[in-house]
Amino acid sequence: MEYRLLGRSGLAVSKLCLGTMTFGNTTSEQDSVEMIHRFLEKGGNFLDTADVYVSGRSEEIVGKAIQGCRSEVVLATKVRMQTADHPNGAGISRKHIMDGVEASLKRLKTDYIDLYQVHVWDHATPIEETLRALDDLVTAGKVRYIGCSNFFAWQLMKSLAISDMNRYVRFISIQPQYSLVSREMDREMMSLCREENIGIIPWAPLGGGFLTGRYNREEPTAGRLTSKVGESSWALRNSGRNFAILDEVLRIAGELEKSPAQISLAWLLNRQGITSPIFGASTLGQFEDNMGAVGWTLPRELYDRLDEASKLPSEYPNRFIEKFARPF
């Protein structure tokens, strides 16, 4: 396993991050703990969870699994979503953040969180309030670093500017949806993150299972993609463009004798700006398959084929800017 620094920090994280959203739900507690232990044995050190995953059960399982090796783990969790049935039970107000961090620390059985992430923007709360609260948590030692997730580029840049102006701690990472079939971040976010040295830790790097090759052009009868809602719903994934991308993934997988999941993750691992894709696994078999994405390099010509098959159409203002780009 190789390691990379997360953003403009000195925090070293493994090239793959183990996501735990299914732990305590479709993945049993026993398999979840085994998966974490196998991940650590293989050199992984980066675990991602959230206070709302399986109503907090995911955090409890993660906390149980890392007892005795806490210092070896880079532990990431999130705050923002509804966790209590009252007006302040959601959001990124000072109150919800302070209540949320204490609850997460208790479930995780630890006295600090390595990376505390804002799960999504909150239009009801001034970002100044949020950043001051997060800065206080870092000062208190309950949080080591902060990050965000599911932000627009302007929201991230505004947050960074306010942190710099007030000398608050900065976001060092962002967790966006990003994969061969979800490249919307290429429009503005990727270039912003490269400019500001923000680590990118993509969620759904396999398109919610679409890029594993489990599904064909007929509506599936089993699996997450039968969901009627969400980013990985069949309604969003079932398109000619996405299946053309998948066809290229399958061709390259056959050429290299790798699985479609390994090819899709390898493309991300070779992409400039990506720090650690967050992969999830419902079974130990899926976990082992995904871990096969490291330890080898995707040839440049095959990377380029995937890039060409999945790139966004030419759009303004990039199209305009490129026309007048200076030659040096």
Catalytic residues: 53
Distance CA 77, CA 180 (A): 25
The residues with which 307 forms a beta bridge, in sequence order, are: none
CA distances from 136 to 124, 127, 133, 169, 170 (A): 20, 14, 5, 9, 12
Q: In whole angstroms, how far apart are CA 91 and each of 59, 82, 83, 130? A: 19, 7, 10, 10
State whether residue 203 is helix, strand or coil: strand
CA distance 190 to 151: 12
Residue 326 tokens, joined: 């200076």
- The single-letter code of the amino acid at 64 is K
Residue 68's nearest CA partner among 102, 37, 47 is: 37
Cβ-based neighbour number of residue 145 at 10 Å: 24
Q: Nearest-5° angle of CA 13, CA 43, CA 283?
A: 100
Which residue has tokens 């209540």?
99
Dist CA 32 CA 318 (whole Å): 44
Contact between 44 and 56 under an 8 Å Cβ cutoff? The reply is no
Q: Is 86 helix (H, G, I), strand (E, B) or coil?
A: coil
First to last CA, the chain: 37
The residues, ordered by sequence, that sit 6+ positions from 102 with a Cβ below 8 Å of its Cβ are none
- Which helix (H) or strand (E) segment is 114 a member of? strand 113-118
